[in-house]
Amino acid sequence: MTGLPADYHIKQMNERLSLIKEPKVLLQACCAPCSSYCLLALRDVASLGVYYYNPNITLADEYEYRLSEIKRLIGIYNDNPDRVLPEECRQVDITKYLIKDKNTENTNDNDILVDINTDIIINNYQTKESLNDKLVNINNSYVNKNYIDIIDAPYEPELFLERTKGFESCPERGERCSICFDLRLRKTAEEAKKLGYDFFATTLTLSPLKNADVINAIGEKISKDVGINYLPTDFKKKNGYKMSIELSKEFNLYRQNYCGCIFSKN
């Protein structure tokens, strides 16, 4: 997918979040440094669950260390519910919230709403009133869930090795990475649907080494396959990656020097 506007995914994220009152998001988290920004970016407008599903981390000690760091980070944020991002780093508009009336009728436009009966995002569906007309400024009374849950996930490195067999020599951003994205996001989507979340999402789009267009395209396909909303993101934008580095330093988070699989380490 190419040629998308610079802030396309951020706009999509905001529109989708605004269409569900008090949305619940299950966030697939790759590590604490990436999560440091993503959690603050979302928690003031959504109830967050963190799903540490990373079978690509085939070294058990590395897997456990990253998990312990994510748990430590979540503990820090839960102990500091008023911590927010600097305004210039915010991707979500926390002063506006779209209230959708179940009785509104649809017209033919290209905006995206959530189907009330199935909770599946569908295209070409819009209320008679424009999205801007439906935005409600609620000042400081926006949804502020603050508390972040962590959801247990299985550790399945053998599954990753099985799925990527024959792709060991692929370069970073190659086909092996796409297989890995699909594996992690699909499991997250299935868990999110089972647990009653409104959306599934991932921290993977924060890394400058990861193509958000590719990740989001995979997420959208999985959304249709599994039957649950996907929340597109591009967390590296709005100084997201830079902010994650600053937060990692502040909290002394372990910053690994490779994505996770043994092939990216070599």
Give the domain ranges of the chain. 23-94+142-265, 98-141
* pLDDT value at residue 259: 84
Cα-Cα-Cα-Cα dihedral of 194, 66, 69, 31, to 10°?
-60
Q: How far apart are CA 156 and CA 57, in angstroms?
A: 9
Name the pairing type of β-strands 199-202 and 24-28. Answer: parallel
Q: How far apart are CA 254 and CA 234, in angstroms?
A: 23
Quote the pTM value. 0.82
Tens digits of residue pLDDT in 2-22: 578 889 999 999 999 999 989
Tens digits of residue pLDDT in 132-188: 333 333 333 344 457 999 999 999 999 999 999 999 888 888 899 999 999 999 999
Task: Decide if 77 contacts 39 (C-beta within 8 A).
Answer: yes
Superfamily in which the 23-94+142-265 domain is placed by CATH: HUPs (3.40.50.620)
Q: Is 220 exposed, middle or buried (0-12, 13-18, 19+ CB in 10 A)?
A: middle
Tens digits of residue pLDDT in 72-128: 999 999 999 999 999 999 999 766 544 444 344 443 333 333 333 334 443 332 333
Q: Which residues contact 237 (CB under 8 A, 6 or more apart)?
A: 6, 7, 9, 10, 91
